[in-house]
Amino acid sequence: MRVVLTGGGTGGHIYPAVAIARQCELEDPKTEFLYIGGERGLESKLVPQEKLPFESIDITGFRRKLSFENVKTIMRFFKGVNRSKALLSQFKPDVVIGTGGYVCGPVVYAAAKLGIPTMIHEQNAIPGLTNQFLSRYADTVAVSFEGSEKAFPKAKRAVYTGNPRATTVQSANRERGFASLGIPMDSQVVLIVGGSRGAKAINDAMIGMASHIGRLPGIHFVFVTGDTYFERTREEIRSRLGTMPNHLHIMPYVHNMPEVLAATSLIVNRAGASFLAEITSLGIPSVLIPSPNVTNNHQEANARQLEDAGASRMILEKDLTAETLFGRLEEIMTSPDVRKAMSEASRKLGKPDSAAVIVEEIRRLTGKR
Q: What is the CATH number of the domain that holds 242?
A: 3.40.50.2000
pLDDT in tens, 241-282: 988 889 999 999 998 999 999 999 999 999 999 999 999 999
Please tell me whether 239 is known to bind a ligand: no
Mean pLDDT, rounded, for 58-77: 64
Q: For strand 219-224 and strand 286-288, is the pairing parallel, antiparallel, or unpaired?
A: unpaired
pLDDT, tens digit, 9 for 90 and up, residues 77-105? 889 999 999 999 999 999 999 999 989 99
Give the model's confidence band at 132: pLDDT under 50 very low, under 70 low, under 90 confident, else very high.
very high
Backbone angles phi, psi at 224, to 5 degrees: -110, 110
Could you tell me if 271 and 124 lie in one domain?
no
Longest dimension (CA), the chain: 66
Check: CB of residue 57 under 8 Å from CB of residue 107. Answer: yes
Q: Do 148 and 195 fall into the same domain?
A: no
Nearest to 98 by CA among 63, 139, 151, 58: 139
Does position 61 have pLDDT exceeding 70, yes or no?
Answer: no
Cα–Cα dist 75/68, whole Å: 11
d(CA 285, CA 84): 42
CB 366 within 8 A of CB 94: yes
Residue 70, pLDDT > 80, answer no
Same domain assignment for residues 108 and 230: no
| Model pLDDT, residue 11 | 85
Same domain membership, residue 316 and residue 185: yes
Do 320 and 303 touch, CB atoms closer than 8 A?
A: no
Tell whether 126 and 188 lie within a shared domain: no
Which segment, 39-43, 124-128, 241-245, 343-347, is predicted with the most confidence on average? 343-347
Shared-domain flag, residues 214 and 283: yes
Judge whether 124 is annotated as a binding position.
Answer: yes
Helix (H) or strand (E) holding 37: strand 32-38
The reply, when asked if residue 49 is annotated as ligand binding, is no
102 and 204 co-located in one domain: no
Check whether residue 59 and residue 119 sit in a common domain.
yes
Count of domains forming the chain: 2
> Considering the chain, what is the average pLDDT of its residues?
93
Q: According to the model, what pLDDT value does residue 369 have?
A: 62
Q: Are residues 90 and 196 in the same domain?
A: no
Mean pLDDT, rounded, for 291-318: 94
Q: What share of the chain is helix, strand, coil (3-state, %, to 5)?
A: 50, 15, 35
Which has more pLDDT, 126 or 311? 311
Residue 12 annotated as part of some ligand binding site = yes
11 assigned ligand-binding residue: yes
Mean pLDDT of 345-362: 96
Query: Has residue 71 got a pLDDT over 70?
Result: no
Residue 217: pLDDT over 70 = yes
Read off the pLDDT band of 76 (50, 70, 90). confident
299 is in an annotated binding site: yes
**Domain housing 305:** 169-349
Residue 143 in this model has a pLDDT that exceeds 80: yes
Four-point Cα dihedral 250, 254, 259, 260, nearest 10: 20
User: Alpha-carbon distance 309 to 5, whole Å?
Assistant: 32
| pLDDT band per the 50, 70, 90 thresholds, residue 194 | confident
**186 and 284 share one domain:** yes
Angle between helices 68-91 and 104-113 (to 10 degrees): 50
How high is the pLDDT of residue 40? 85
Cα radius of gyration (the chain): 21
